[in-house]
Amino acid sequence: MRHLIDPLDLNESEMQDLLELASRIREDPAAYQEVAAHKKLATLFYEPSTRTRLSFEAAMLNLGGHVLGFPSDNVSSASKGESVADTIRVVSCYADIAAMRHPKEGAPLRASQYSRIPVINAGDGGHQHPTQTFTDLLTILTRHGRLDNLTIGLCGDLKFGRTVHSLIKTMARRKNIKFILISPDELRVPDYIIKDVLVANNIPFEETASLEDAMPQLDILYMTRVQKERFFNEEDYVRLKNSYILTKEKMEAARPDMAVLHPLPRVNEIALDVDDDPRAAYFEQAQNGVYVRMALIMMLLGLTDPKTGKEVSLC
């Protein structure tokens, strides 16, 4: 049995299989509407979510399966003091697969150690968010037709943004990638990622505070929200929350084929008038999240792809 805790839990060929399956599903979703019949997905969400939880649930329903779970810790036995280890032992009796979001880094990993069903990390604190990264990859592949030879700008809260950490880790495995890390000094990418991922693998990167300077070089601009819930004091959040606002005017300096991604939710870091720009890819990205999660559920459950007649097992 396999879990998905870190984006690198899938090797490169598994990642490619996942993206190919997600693309096949996107072309003909109706062909997949029975493949997970009678299977159950549990969504165990100890932190707020709209897209991730609903896209997991939509993914399982689209595959003909069922969903059960809880949307916040205060309606589960976590509020009575139950550990994630005990919760997952019990959920293993009720469901075939689980997606867990938790404010504590490492909670889904701990759950996986006690689980009898595959556990998917749906975001753990300021650490990792692998399924968002797969969604990002499918969107990049769709927009650019490749995952290599790209200059990727990441902008905003690079310190607490778990989507940023997972995307850097994953894209660092590709060929000829350059990162431009755009943030205020206080919200820089954590040192462990700079050292263990970028420096250790000789990946070119620049750190800058200027979105305007970076803009003309970028193939991808990955905007992020300042992660209010991870700040220790309100004052710092208020000071930093408006550090970057992407506007129509700033888009003029960008390449004609640059793609703007954002994991969403957006607060005010992308002005509404950017939405009509054909380079804005964030709503298409949210849609891709459903196909990628359908593919992932199929692979972790070892289901059969009706298009190829083959099992898509990860084991």
- Shortest distance, position 129 Cβ to ligand NCD, whole Å: 5
- Please give the Cα distance from 179 to 168 (Å, whole number): 8
CB-nearer residue toward ligand NCD: 114 or 237: 237
CA neighbours closer than 13 Å in the CB half-sphere of residue 183: 25
Give the β-pairing of 304-305 and 310-311: antiparallel
Q: Which is nearer to ligand NCD, 216 or 265 (CB)?
A: 265
Q: Is the dihedral of CA 301, 303, 305, 309 positive or negative?
A: positive
- State which of positions 3-62 bind ligand NCD (CB under 6 A): 51-52
- How many residues of this chain interact with ligand NCD, rule: CB under 6 A? 11
179 backbone dihedrals φ, ψ, rounded to 5°: -105, 135
Instruction: List 171's β-bridge partners, or say none.
Output: none
Of 121 and 151, CB closest to ligand NCD: 121
Give the nearer residue to ligand NCD in terms of CB position, either 188 or 230: 230
Catalytic residue flag (residue 173): no
Q: Quick one: CA dihedral 91, 25, 14, 140, positive or negative?
A: negative
Q: Catalytic site residue 51?
A: yes
CB of 225 to ligand NCD, least distance (A): 4
* 8 Å CB contact between 138 and 19: yes
- When binding is defined by CB under 6 A, the residue of 25, 260, 264, 303 that contacts ligand NCD is 264
Minimum gap (Å) between residue 270 Cβ and ligand NCD: 12
Annotated catalytic residue, options 24, 39, 52, 163:
52
Residue 71 interacts with ligand NCD (CB under 6 A)? Answer: no
Do residues 110 and 100 make contact, with C-beta atoms less than 8 angstroms apart?
no
- The yes-or-no answer on residue 310 being catalytic is no
Q: How many CB atoms lie within 10 A of CB 303?
A: 20
Task: Return the residue of 43, 139, 163, 183 that touches ligand NCD, per CB under 6 A.
Answer: 163
Long-range Cβ pairs for the range 233-236 (8 Å, 24+): 236/186
Tell me which of 7, 65, 125, 263 binds ligand NCD, using CB under 6 A.
Answer: 263
Please indicate whether residue 40 is annotated as part of the active site: no
d(CA 111, CA 85): 5
Minimum distance of ligand NCD from residue 264's CB (angstroms): 5
Angle between helices 130-144 and 12-27 (to 10 degrees): 70
In the set 159, 162, 165, 169, which binds ligand NCD (CB under 6 A)?
162
Q: Report the distance separating Cα 167 and Cα 198, nearest Å.
A: 12
H/E element, 86: helix 84-91
Q: Is 241 in the site for ligand NCD (CB under 6 A)?
A: no
Residue listed under structure tokens 């891709």: 288
Binders of ligand NCD among residues 188 to 227 (CB under 6 A) are: 225
- In angstroms, the first-to-last Cα distance of the chain is 7
Site stretch for ligand NCD (CB under 6 A), options 173-181, 203-211, 233-241, 263-271? 263-271
> Which member of 2, 26, 51, 279 is catalytic?
51
Query: Is position 80 annotated as part of the catalytic site?
Result: yes
Given candidates 65, 108, 123, 153, which one binds ligand NCD under the rule CB under 6 A? 123
Interface with ligand NCD by CB under 6 A: which residues? 51-52, 123, 129, 132, 162-163, 225, 263-265
Could you give the residue numbers annotated as active site? Answer: 51-52, 80, 101, 129
